[in-house]
């Protein structure tokens, strides 16, 4: 026979009342008459937070290749400086006006070189800041540190301040920054407010690039042109994604980002399309409807989409927790839908 739960009517009492007794939930003894028994509820166990894996850089070690290229670059600069110095001396020996002109052009070239170098350094620093912010946000999701979450939010708002379309999201997060919110929940709130429009725009950029690659490579008669076009579109896509998430890389930053994307692809499964995407392509009956050239263009578009998804993982300042990660199958559906619409037309 099951034991019937006993209920008492609502009542009011003071906390310092002598008749109020706090007991354990497992205690089965009956309190005396007139005693108010309070049983605290057991705390809910803290569940582990699912955090997306971040790319951990390998340990620093002495790089002989960097030393070699640094020495070669230094020698090249010395040779160039010596050649320019001799050129200016020869111009002054020929004519004072030519020497002044050569000296002015050299000054302009030096100033331009310093400005370009400063911009490249700033681009590399912005990429490093976003990468560090990504790792800090992942650490807050694991530790639930409230103070560190506010620091991450402050640095994130500095990056988002450059995008005028995020003004409303910035105002919302600024309003909630002083509220009593746990650290992990604050990171999730920031992701929902700031990353939702950016992720939507990133998906549109990747889908458009994949469709462009699929169409051009299907119609191109030369394989060399296909490789050059895919490489150019991939660089442009990576740069657009970095600009979208606040990176703004320069030439050196873009090269570094391209290397990281390729390394990320090698770690997470390479450039080959997954089995589910191949099954989806075959399931639509495209093998029977499309020629071999059109099928190659479709796969090139899928590989471009895979490259864009890897670039999102590296340029996004927050890990995927509150929002779903864009999947290759979703982009494949968009690509197949455009392909079907083109075939019907």
DSSP of 294-310: HHHHHHHHHHHHHHHHH
> What is the CB neighbour count within 10 angstroms for residue 336?
19
Question: Looking only at Cα atoms, what is the longest distance across the chain?
Answer: 117
The verdict on residue 235 lying in a domain is: yes
- What pLDDT, on a 0 to 100 scale, did the predictor assign at position 29? 64
Q: Which stretches of the chain score pLDDT less than 50?
A: 1-3, 5, 44, 47, 49-51, 53-58, 270-275, 278-279, 282, 284-289
In 3D space, the residue among 212, 239, 236 whose CA is nearest the CA of residue 226 turns out to be 212
- Which residues, at least 6 apart from 22, have a Cβ–Cβ distance to it below 8 Å? 38, 39, 40
Number of structural domains (the chain) is 1
- What pLDDT, on a 0 to 100 scale, did the predictor assign at position 293? 61
> What is the CB neighbour count within 10 angstroms for residue 252?
15
Which residues pair with residue 20 across a beta bridge?
36
Q: Where are the beta strands (DSSP E) in the chain?
A: 20-22, 36-38
Q: Could you tell me the residue range of the domain that residue 276 belongs to?
A: 195-344
The verdict on residue 283 lying in a domain is: yes
Read off the DSSP letter of residue 165. Answer: G
∠ Cα 35 36 40 (to 5°): 135
Which residues pair with residue 37 across a beta bridge?
21
> Cα(first)–Cα(last) distance of the chain, in Å?
73
Cα–Cα distance measured from residue 312 to residue 309, given in angstroms and rounded to the nearest whole number: 5
Query: By three-state DSSP, how is residue 36 classified?
Result: strand
Read off the DSSP letter of residue 62. Answer: -
The verdict on residue 228 lying in a domain is: yes
Q: What is the DSSP string of 206-258?
A: HHHHHHHHHHHHHH-S-HHHHHHHHHHHHHHHHHHHHHHTT----HHHHHHHH
The verdict on residue 50 lying in a domain is: no
The verdict on residue 9 lying in a domain is: no
The verdict on residue 300 lying in a domain is: yes
- What pLDDT, on a 0 to 100 scale, did the predictor assign at position 108? 93
The verdict on residue 265 lying in a domain is: yes
Residue 296 contacts residue 263 (beta carbons within 8 Å): no
Cα–Cα distance measured from residue 14 to residue 304, given in angstroms and rounded to the nearest whole number: 68
> What is the CB neighbour count within 10 angstroms for residue 217?
24
Residue 233 contacts residue 217 (beta carbons within 8 Å): no
The verdict on residue 291 lying in a domain is: yes
pLDDT digits (tens, 9 = 90+) for 285-314: 444 445 556 667 777 788 888 888 888 888
- What pLDDT, on a 0 to 100 scale, did the predictor assign at position 341? 54
- What pLDDT, on a 0 to 100 scale, did the predictor assign at position 34? 61
């Amino acid at each position: 026979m099951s034991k019937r739960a006993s209920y008492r009517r609502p009542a009011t009492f003071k906390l310092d009342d002598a008749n109020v007794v706090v007991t354990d939930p497992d205690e089965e003894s009956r309190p005396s008459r007139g005693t108010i028994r309070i049983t605290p509820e057991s705390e809910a166990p803290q569940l582990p937070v699912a955090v997306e894996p971040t790319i951990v850089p390998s340990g620093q070690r002495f790089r002989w290749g960097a030393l070699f290229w640094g020495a070669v670059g230094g020698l090249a600069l010395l040779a160039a400086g010596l050649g320019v110095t001799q050129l200016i001396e020869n111009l002054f020996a020929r004519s004072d006006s030519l020497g002044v002109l050569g000296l002015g052009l050299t000054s302009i070239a030096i100033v331009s070189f310093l400005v370009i170098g400063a911009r490249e350094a700033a681009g590399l620093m912005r990429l490093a800041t976003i990468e560090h912010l990504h790792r800090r946000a992942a650490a807050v999701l694991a530790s639930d540190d409230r103070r560190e979450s506010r620091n991450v939010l402050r640095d994130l708002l500095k990056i988002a301040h450059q995008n005028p379309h995020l003004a409303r999201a910035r105002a919302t997060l600024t309003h909630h920054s002083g509220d009593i919110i746990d650290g992990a929940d604050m990171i999730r709130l920031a992701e929902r407010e700031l990353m939702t429009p950016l992720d939507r725009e990133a998906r549109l950029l990747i889908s458009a690039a994949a469709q462009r690659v699929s169409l051009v490579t299907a119609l191109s008669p030369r394989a060399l042109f296909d490789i050059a076009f895919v490489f150019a579109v991939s660089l442009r896509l990576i740069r657009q994604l970095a600009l979208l998430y606040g990176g703004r890389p320069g030439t050196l930053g873009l090269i570094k980002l391209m290397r990281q994307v390729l390394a990320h692809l090698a770690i997470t499964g390479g450039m080959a399309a997954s089995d589910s995407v191949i099954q989806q392509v075959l399931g639509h009956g495209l093998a029977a409807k499309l020629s071999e050239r059109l099928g190659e263009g479709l796969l090139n578009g899928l590989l471009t989409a895979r490259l864009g998804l890897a670039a999102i993982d590296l340029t996004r300042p927050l890990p995927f927790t509150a929002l779903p990660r864009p999947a290759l199958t979703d982009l494949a559906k968009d690509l197949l839908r455009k392909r079907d619409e083109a075939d019907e037309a």
